[in-house]
Each structure stands twice: as C-alpha cells, then as structure tokens.
Amino acid sequence: MATEIIMPKAGMDMEEGTVIKWLKNVGETVETGEPLLEILTDKVNMEVEAEVSGTLIDIRANEGDVLPVFTVIGYIGEAGEKAPSGEATPSMEVKEVETIEETVKEEKATSNSSIPVGKVRATPAARKIAKDRNLLVEDIPGSGPFGRVQKVDVEEFDIIKATPLATKMAEVENIDLSTIKGTGVGGKITKDDLSLAPTEATGQKKVLAPSKAKEKASNIIPMVGLRKIIAQRMKESLEKSAPVTLQTEVDMTHINALRAKLKPIIQEEIDKKITVTDLLIMATSKALMKYPIVNSTLVEEGIRVNDYVNMGIAVGLENGLLVPVIKGTNKMTLKEIVSSRTDIVKRTLSSKITPDELSGSTFTISNLGMYDTISFNSIINQPNSAILSVGVTVKRMRIINDAPQIREVMNMSITLDHRVMDGLVGAQFLQYLKDLLEDPNLLLL
C-alpha cells in the first residue's frame, strides 16, 4: 500500500508551506531518511525526508504551490504501483481531527448568532467577513480541508490570482489577466497560461517568446519566500518599536588574547573553533542578567522581564537573514556556548535548521566584523527589546597610562526600544558589557 508524503507541520505556528523544489523524480527509488523535497515555511527553508523506503510513484504538488500543513503532496510505494487518484488533499487522519474541531468551533460560534451554517463548510471568521461584504459563502471556492471556506478565501475572493512571474509578463505584454483562466493551484494563473492569451493592444492571440519575456523580467527580483518575510518583519519592527541607538568603543586587546590562549585548548577538548562571537555571547549573557530590563519582552499585559537568556545570532544567507536561537546561554559554560553556536550556525547555513530553533529569543547579536564593517545600527528582532551590533576589530593608537600604544579596538552599538527602557539603562548595560570585554577576569565573578 502506498505511503503518503505530507506537508509537515515543522513548527507550532506553521499553517502552510511552499514547495520549493523536488529532489526526486517520479520513478526514482528512495531510502528512509533521504531528502525528497525542499519546502519554505514562514521562517526557513527545510528538507522533507522520506519516512519509508520505496519508489516515488506520484507527486501531487508542483514547485511554487502553497499548501496547508498535513496536505498529501505525493506517494511512496512499490515500483509499478499506482497512487490513489485525486489532487493534493489533507491526509485522512488530519481530516477527521479537523472535522471534529471545526464542528465544535462552528457550533460555539453560531449558538448565539443568526448566521446560518448550511451545507457549505466555512470557518466562523470566513462567514463573518462574507456577511460584512454581502457575499455568500456558497459562491466562494474553499481552499481548506473538504473544500472548507477560510478567512483568506473570502478576503481574496474576486481578486485575480497569478504568480509574480505571470503578473510581470502580463504587464510587459499588455495582457488582461481577467480574461485568463488559471491552471495552477486554486486557479492561480501561471506563465504557461499566458502563452496563447489575447493582448490588450491587438485583441489577437499571441505566442509569447519565452526568451523575450525572461529578458524583460530579468532585472526583477520577486518579493517572495524568505525575502518577503524579512521585508514584512523589518517593517513591522520599525512600526511597533521606538528605536534608539547607543554606541561605544571597546578595547578588545585582552579578550582577543584570551581567545588566542583558549583556542588550542577548546579545539583539543571539543574539536570546535572558538570565535569572538562565543565570548560576546558569554559576556552579553552576564550583562543581561545584571540589567534584565534589556532582556525583556513587551507583551499585552506589560513588560515581561525574562530571568533567562535565549540568545539570537544573526546569520546571513545568500537569500536573506535568519536568527537561530541558543537557549539558556546564561547558564552555559564557554565550551557549551562554542559547541552550541558552531552546531546551530552550521545547520542554519545548510538549511537544516528547524522553525522552532528560530523562535524564542530574548536578545540578539548581529556581528558584521568579518566583513570589515566598522559600525552599523541593527533593526530590533521582534519580540526582543534590544539588539547588539558588533563591528570589525582594527588596530588603533590609544593613550594608555599617558603613553601611546597600539590597541585592538572594536565599535559596538545597542539599539533599544525606548518604550520598554530608557537610554540611561541602555548606556549602563553597554558600559558594563564594555568592562567585561576589556577585562575578561570580570567574567569569573
């Protein structure tokens, strides 16, 4: 019997995923644990692995399709076996659970309401929006399990759906998308649907030249996937917070000497390479425990002062930025920090990180020193209340005990949410962190 391949629920908040690319073709054999396809969640790209060995006998979801979690997107079976007929749908077990849950929700939502439930399945939110817009849910195609009409279906009803590339090609070729019938998921118009579309200028059908269309759109980078998510969250952060940035200069001579001394020892004991970031994590965690308001989170009830440190580390990728989280750094030894940071950064760069490992931070460090950036101001990583920005360490002439000396100097800044804390507290935190880095002996206290 064929085994379902489903869109996984890779995090507590994940509701849907996008198929990026299939790593196997129909007819190819697969082994348990072997990557089948790559998907994009709301936070990260990740691979979906085969749960059983066999042959990939069917693919139900195309690249670019956005589907709810638990949707069946393919089948693994024996060579020559036929997959069950039909399109991508939620697995049977999930259907049964969702049917029960939705029935209970609708009964509660409509017990004191005049909105008729009827035969068409729809969420309470979808019914309310439809009523406010004088729409009938019976007229709206549902994208949920069993064709259930969801909030997004009502909001996007009567809106022409098209892929970013199809939209751009239509604009270039003067094609009216309202005249096109989409063949993609949910009736979405794809570039292939435009191949014989009538142009606005002539009214005649025209076969698009793929090369021409690609040439005209080659300088357009679609705001999709991770780039779109980053854009939304950066904008939201600036809208939600009142950012203030404080800067200081740190003498890194002693901390770098300590790193050089510990490097061979840690390399021998755990086979990992200690970096400046590791020492920054340790020092920053200590400073956050002394000034916990900097480590706080603004919630509906007020300011939640965290008594632990979950350190977010900004990691740059080719297509954007991710912030994996090392949890409980305030209780870690230096070796544990080095090991955890090495592992989580490595898995982030290789797209092996899980969505849950990208959430729960209480503070974030962004280090661009390796790119010779002298100083910069970061945007606060919500729901944190502050973020530390670290620049490159360079040699500078400084006056020490009335005598000129060449020292290793680094610029460091903290951007804080002025709604949560005053600049004075931020300055005190930054001063203490500077003291820890300039005199590493203080880390032992």
Residue range 112-149, pLDDT digits in tens: 333 333 456 777 677 878 777 767 777 677 766 556 77
- Nearest alpha carbon to residue 217 among 180, 184, 178, 171: 171
Q: Chain-centre distance of CA 169, in angstroms? A: 28
- Give, in order, the Cα–Cα distances in Å from 170 to each of 163, 199, 201, 404: 11, 9, 12, 67
Specify the pLDDT at position 59.
93
Question: Which of 142-156, 219-233, 362-376, 412-426 is predicted with the least confidence, judged by mean pLDDT?
Answer: 142-156
Homologous superfamily of domain range 93-155: E3-binding domain (4.10.320.10)
Residue 100 has pLDDT above 50, yes or no: no
- Nearest alpha carbon to residue 76 among 94, 47, 48, 53: 53
CATH class of 3-89: mainly beta
Residue 172 has pLDDT above 50, yes or no: yes
DSSP-assigned states of every residue in 334-395: HHHHHHHHHHHHHHHHTT---GGGGS--SEEEEE-GGGT-----PPP-TTBSEEEEEEEEEE
Identity at 20, one-letter amino acid code? I
Specify the pLDDT at position 160.
62
For the chain, give the number of residues: 445
Distance CA 231, CA 145 (A): 30
Question: Which of 3-7, 150-154, 435-439 is predicted with the least confidence, judged by mean pLDDT?
Answer: 150-154
DSSP-assigned states of every residue in 404-444: EEEEEEEEEEEEEETTTS-HHHHHHHHHHHHHHHH-GGGGG
Specify the pLDDT at position 47.
82
Homologous superfamily of domain range 227-444: Chloramphenicol acetyltransferase-like domain (3.30.559.10)
Domain coordinates of the chain in residue numbers?
3-89, 93-155, 164-217, 227-444
Q: For residues 57 and 370, is the Cβ–Cβ distance under 8 A?
A: no
| Residue numbers annotated as active site | 418, 422
Residue range 38-97, pLDDT digits in tens: 888 866 778 888 888 999 999 999 888 888 988 999 999 998 888 887 665 665 445 444
Please give the residue that has the higher pLDDT: either 168 or 317: 317
Distance CA 196, CA 205 (A): 5
Residue 339 has pLDDT above 70, yes or no: yes
The mean pLDDT of the chain is 82
Specify the pLDDT at position 251.
97
Specify the pLDDT at position 215.
47
Residue range 264-311, pLDDT digits in tens: 999 999 999 999 999 999 999 999 999 999 999 999 899 999 999 999
Q: Which residues of 41-61 are buried (b: 16+ CB within 10 A; e: fewer)?
A: bbbbbbebbbeeebbbbbbbb
Specify the pLDDT at position 375.
94
Longest C-alpha distance within the chain, in Å?
86
**3-state SS record for 193-233:** HHCCCEECCCCCECCCCHHHHHHHHCCCCCCCHHHHHHHHH
Could you tell me which residues are beta bridge partners of residue 252?
none
Contacts of 369 (CB under 8 A, 6+ apart): 276, 390, 391, 392, 393, 410
